[in-house]
Amino acid sequence: MQYSATLSLSQSAAASTIPKSNYTVNHSLPFSPSKPINLRFCGLRREAFLGFSSLSRSQPPQSKIRSDKINCPISASLSDNGSAPKSFDYDLVIIGAGVGGHGAALHAVEKGLKTAIIEGDVIGGTCVNRGCVPSKALLAVSGRMRDLQNEHHMKALGLQVAAAGYDRQGVADHANNLATKIRNNLTNSMKALGVDILTGVGSILGPHKVQYGKLDSPGNIVTAKDIIIATGSVPFVPKGIEVDGKTVITSDHALKLESVPDWIAIVGSGYIGLEFSDVYTALGSEVTFIEALDQLMPGFDPEIGKLAQRVLINPRKIDYHTGVFATKITPAKNGKPVTIELIDAKTKEPKDTLEVDAALIATGRAPFTDGLGLDSVHVERKRGFVPVDERMRVLDFKGDPVPHLYCIGDANGKMMLAHAASAQGISVVEQLTGRDHVLNHLSIPAACFTHPEISMVGLTEPQAREKAEKEGFEVSVAKTSFKANTKALAENEGEGIAKLIYRPDNGEILGVHIFGLHAADLIHEASNAIALGTRIQDIKLAVHAHPTLSEVIDELFKSAKVMDKPPLRNSFHLNLFAINCCVAAPSRYMFSHNWWLRVLIKLKRASSNFNLLTEVLILWGRLKLMLQAQ
């Protein structure tokens, strides 16, 4: 568990020297803050931190909860779903029952909030019904097909397999059945906990007031102390592209797998495009990528992208056009194929015209925020996204938070991933129940479920070097190969690498990128390390089972070269350090927060052990009390 003291520091200094924690607990510190920022104390016991206010062991630690938040029991009754304040129907109403809304609803009931969720389509939203879930079913099929079709791979394992085939409708049914099963699981989990599921399209009528029901009808009105918008997103289709749902399709249509075209063009080479290229080529299609930027897979770390192109694209029936826009796409009609007109992305001059059997538009997603009634609370959307601050509070046109209104997931555009939406929802509920929480989005992993998989968390190498240049620190890179891993070799899947981007001066993990077998499962050790603030010199000591793929990450961290600075650990050094600081500082500065910031920065540079900072703060408080007594 992480906590952070709210200290008065300059925002610029804090951003470059002290990482932010997810939690902020306000306590009575020995100085008065002017601008709050978070200091993380990793592995810190709650008693030690909360003891700052009184330095007394006899009194139980208590945290101060913001006055505008409600006090709730730890768990809610399954029968009554908590109890709302008398002036509202609910403590919390969530508009949208996708993964984000579902995660927020379950956490809210656990915290004792009377909760309702509004859904105008089907429970589970895009992820469960038209995204993550059915696509993984198709990718599971493509993975099996690749193994069976790879004669060299089978022969190396001593296996003999006859010609592999598939039933298109059977594959489509597998994806649909999985989506139905997960959707029912989500629905049942909310009903079991007593979440009220309100059917209809939700919109905001004003502060604390939500209307839901059928479109173009008066609908029902409910009130809530707090409201969360979690309406998700829809496929983005650029101008000039005509989607007919048959030959020119989006991911929504492709997941139904109504056909497997001989030749399909995929517009966009991001996560969606890459995964569908994996599916279509495994099922026998030829694929042509159309990418507006100069390189394929522009969102990935460049080194990982180059390796992925060598493995996932070059050996397969895939060609590509980069640096071009598809300005016009016409569906197949009257025996004529799909036509795609391409222009140069820079000069806008006509480049080429393609004729293919089908085209998949994988150019990203757009927020689904129309009709939410945001004008009633003076909110102006930006490119369709609902503006929010770091606590997911919705901002009005002046940039001020709208009281009791939050927005999570794709609708706010911070990080368009299902698990990010869920994490944001849980973060909001933490705030509503008195615990100020700020989600660290750099700790949220992402994955592309190709064969092999790609996963990542944190910064890419170019992003890390840009940050380092601005803030004045060095960046180092460590790499390991799957070819050195026993489990990967046993599976005959040695193709892949893991890459670590870090600070050699203090061991901070800036980013981790993996391309290889089960990369999507391996990334979480790194993402949790970033979330918890664990440094490389500490995670190097972790033990991994042998032989497992997790040893790829173990070797990655062990190969990193972190400067060995002897930490100040024992009481003698702590006392000596504190006395030296106090003697060296003029009395008028000694207890000023700016002076103490400089001390903390020096300590942070001298030691990777954040518990040390805690001990010094306690020591300093005691020293101050002694001097005041004199």
Tokens at 268, concatenated: 């966009």
Kindly tell me the sign of the dihedral angle through the C-alpha atoms of 15, 20, 24, 26. negative
Cα–Cα separations (whole angstroms), residue 542 to 520, 521, 528, 554: 20, 17, 13, 8
- Least Cα distance to 443 among 457, 432, 455 occurs for 457
The DSSP secondary structure of 185-205, one letter per residue, reads: HHHHHHHHHT-EEEESEEEEE
What's the farthest any 2 CA atoms get from each other in the chain?
Answer: 96
The answer to whether 34 and 8 have CB atoms below 8 angstroms apart is: yes
Q: Residue type for 373, please?
A: G
The answer to whether 454 and 519 have CB atoms below 8 angstroms apart is: yes
Residue 409, by phi and psi: left (phi above 0), alpha (psi -120 to 50) or beta? left
| Strand bridging mode 393-395 / 401-407 | antiparallel
Where would I find the H helices in 256-330?
A: 271-282, 302-308
Tokens at 38, concatenated: 């978070």
The DSSP secondary structure of 376-393, one letter per residue, reads: GGT---BTTBPPB-TT-E
Q: What's the alpha-carbon Rg for the chain, to the nearest Å?
A: 27
Q: Exactly one of 404, 513, 524, 546 is catalytic; which is it? A: 546
The answer to whether 249 and 375 have CB atoms below 8 angstroms apart is: no
Give the span between the Cα atoms of 198 and 93, in whole angstroms.
Answer: 10
Residues 6+ apart with CB under 8 A from 127: 98, 99, 133, 418
- Asked if 524 is an active-site residue, the reply is no
Which residues are designated catalytic? 546
